Amino acid sequence: MNIQFRPKLIDTLRGYDRGQFSGDLSAGITVGVLALPLAMAFAIASGMSPTAGIWTAIVAGFLISALGGSRVQIGGPTGAFIPIIYAIVVDYGVQNLLIATMMSGVMLLAMGAFRLGSMIRFIPLSVVIGFTNGIAVVIFVSQIKDFLGLRVDSLPGEFFGKMEALYRALPTLDGATLALSCASLAVLLGWNRLAKEVAWMRRLPGPLAVLVIATAVNAFILLPVDTIGSRFGGIPRELPDIGLPALSFGLLGKLIAPALTIALLGAIESLLSARIADSQIDDRHDPNQELMAQGIANVAAPLFGGFAATGAIARTATNVRTGGRTPVAGIIHAGVLLTIVLALAPLASHIPLATLSAIVVVVAVNMGEWHAFAPKELARYSTAYRTILLATFFVTVVFDLTLAVELGMALASLFFIYRMSDLTRIERLPLEDFYGVEALARPDGTPRILAYRLTGSLFFGAANKLENLLLMQDGHPDAVILDLEKVISVDTTGLDILQTLQRNLARRGATLILCDLNEQPGSLIRRSGFADRLGEENIAGNLTDALLRAQTVMPRNPGVSYV
């Protein structure tokens, strides 16, 4: 296997100049500052410590930019991972989450090495929208506890159990927390709206602005709300201990499914982010190199206490808007985060959890494509599209993402098989119009030659199309011609049907003749040895040659001309 490992950074450094560095520096600082509140908020919502989120952004962000296949991709923890990470933490614990993350990294690395990056695009849009909107709902629900200040020891990972626990905890609603959450939400939404019109506000990301304001207010007034300091003891002003997480061999088998979920979602989100960025900078990313970088990042991040990371669409878009054009911007973003941790970590103790919750709520609302659920929008598409979209969304919310993607892909495959089967047709050719009825029938009226034209794909989903031929409901001729000019492909099930038809005809003393084989059907028929059993003389170039061959194998009818 020829593994190609060539980070985009190598290509972009050729001719790199001061002007490019200036743009990358500005973008890297902006994105680094933006990443700080998001990394902490996503980590807390996932059931992890804010420190874990920050080090995920630093380590994974650096590696994804340095080794990735995109010029402008920014990596780190994302909102899409919140329900997955939270469920793994609840079911298996933090240490096993780190192991599952490293396993997903190995899977991503293998996907890139085996050049499977382009296959991620085979996932239907209906499945992507369904689970993306479902994840947004799950994220929103996960923030109700901190947004309202509810006193709940731990929330179950299962949807109905979580809703029941939140309902029972409603009497513990904290007024001060709710007021701060609403105020933070209002400031964030107002800032984002005003930033479109006020130039200086665009330089300070909304999440950072509301975080600074709320933290400053809380530091001076000491609001009676939960903070990073009260719940997590603050953020250490030092490098984390580097080491492997505790490994439990008995749980490795059970962690394969969670690891596969992390890998699949990470691959989808990172490549989707890279594709969006390509359209903004008129470039083309290398999907396989990007997957390998994502894999390395997810293996490395848990060594520093971090967890799953992928390409972040919002931070990548911010990087592009603020002038980032090479992976250097992403590397600077990681350096900015590291500097903030080492220099300003003590101030993080005053950050209110209600403000971080408000930030995540806005992220959840913005990540969903809610217009896709509008009745007029749904009416534009087929029943299959609507079924896949709504089923994937429902299962994502009520059960989990793994099952939702599996169900969505299964439904998409079934609908595709049905559609392809419906497009596969077989029709009898009216040879009597050209050769006369008496030339094609025996004295008793039974046919001498039958000819059929197949259209579409002869595969397992269309096997029933040849049942009438297998039963010989049109009679028992001396020769049967199959015109395959409009057959684009034949799979092994289709080949088996042809072989069965040939054997049935041979037992009756009749001959099967194929004509107009396209490249793929012809290749399979010859590679399988069926052409040898059928006889090359019974594989004709066109229908006329097939009819001439059929006349040579049927008994002669005295007094009738066949030419």
- At 124, phi and psi to the nearest 5? -60, 150
What is the predicted pLDDT for the residue at 561? 42
Contact 265, 84 (CB under 8 A): yes
Q: Which long-range contacts link 161-170 to residues 24+ away (Cβ below 8 Å)?
A: 166/141, 169/145
State how far the Cα of 41 lies from the Cα of 357, in Å rounded to an integer: 7
What is the predicted pLDDT for the residue at 527? 94
Return the percent helix, strand and coil in the chain, to nearest 5. Answer: 65, 5, 25
pLDDT at residue 94 is higher than 60: yes
Q: Which long-range contacts link 249-256 to residues 24+ away (Cβ below 8 Å)?
A: 251/92, 251/96, 251/99, 252/99, 252/103, 254/92, 255/92, 255/96, 255/99, 255/100, 255/103, 256/103
Q: Express each pLDDT in 513-540 by its tens digit.
A: 999 999 999 999 999 999 999 999 999 9
Is residue 486 classed as helix, strand or coil in its secondary structure?
strand
- The mean pLDDT of 66-80, rounded to a whole number, is 93
Total number of residues shown for the chain = 563
Going by pLDDT thresholds of 50, 70 and 90, the confidence category of residue 321 is: confident
- Residue 87 to residues 138, 404, 475, Cα–Cα distance (Å): 11, 15, 63
Is residue 169 classed as helix, strand or coil in its secondary structure?
coil
pLDDT at residue 472 is higher than 80: no
- The mean pLDDT of 295-306, rounded to a whole number, is 96
State how far the Cα of 263 lies from the Cα of 326, in Å rounded to an integer: 25
- Dihedral angle of Cα 313, 317, 320, 325, to the nearest 10 degrees: 0
Is residue 352 classed as helix, strand or coil in its secondary structure?
strand
pLDDT at residue 445 is higher than 70: no
What is the predicted pLDDT for the residue at 423? 87
What is the predicted pLDDT for the residue at 156? 81
Contact 63, 296 (CB under 8 A): yes
What is the predicted pLDDT for the residue at 1? 58
Contact 316, 73 (CB under 8 A): yes
| Residues near 104 by beta carbon (within 8 Å), at least 6 away in sequence | 259, 260, 261, 262, 263, 266, 295, 298, 308
State how far the Cα of 147 lies from the Cα of 169, in Å rounded to an integer: 13
| Residues near 343 by beta carbon (within 8 Å), at least 6 away in sequence | none
Going by pLDDT thresholds of 50, 70 and 90, the confidence category of residue 442 is: low
Mean of per-residue pLDDT scores for the chain: 87
pLDDT at residue 560 is higher than 60: no
Going by pLDDT thresholds of 50, 70 and 90, the confidence category of residue 231 is: confident
What is the predicted pLDDT for the residue at 555? 62
Contact 63, 293 (CB under 8 A): yes
* Pairing, β 511-515 against β 479-490: parallel
Q: Which of 3-12, 212-221, 299-308 has the highest mean pLDDT?
A: 299-308
pLDDT at residue 3 is higher than 80: no
Residue 14, CB half-sphere, CA atoms under 13 Å: how many?
4
Q: Work out the burial of residue 3: count CB atoms within 10 Å of its CB; fewer than 13 is exposed, 13-18 middle, 19 or more buried.
A: exposed
* Pairing, β 75-76 against β 310-311: antiparallel
pLDDT at residue 436 is higher than 50: no
Which of 174, 243, 183 lies closest to 213, judged by CA?
183
Structure tokens at 263: 């890998």
Predicted model pTM: 0.79
Contact 143, 364 (CB under 8 A): yes
pLDDT at residue 558 is higher than 50: no
State how far the Cα of 85 lies from the Cα of 69, in Å rounded to an integer: 26
Query: What number of H helices and E strands is found in the chain?
Result: 26, 7
pLDDT at residue 559 is higher than 80: no
- At 257, phi and psi to the nearest 5? -65, -50
Higher pLDDT, 367 or 304: 304
* % of the chain with per-residue pLDDT over 70: 94
Query: What secondary structure letter does DSSP report for 143?
Result: T
Q: Which of 245-259, 453-467, 497-511 has the highest mean pLDDT?
A: 497-511
- The mean pLDDT of 260-285, rounded to a whole number, is 88
- The mean pLDDT of 496-524, rounded to a whole number, is 92
Q: Express each pLDDT in 152-201 by its tens digit.
A: 877 787 888 889 999 999 999 999 999 999 999 999 999 888 888 887 78
- The mean pLDDT of 344-362, rounded to a whole number, is 88
pLDDT at residue 281 is higher than 70: yes
- Residue 376: Cβ within 10 Å count: 7
Which of 374, 433, 385 lies closest to 411, judged by CA?
385
State how far the Cα of 104 lies from the Cα of 131, in Å rounded to an integer: 19
State how far the Cα of 408 lies from the Cα of 131, in Å rounded to an integer: 9
| Maximum pairwise Cα distance, the chain | 113
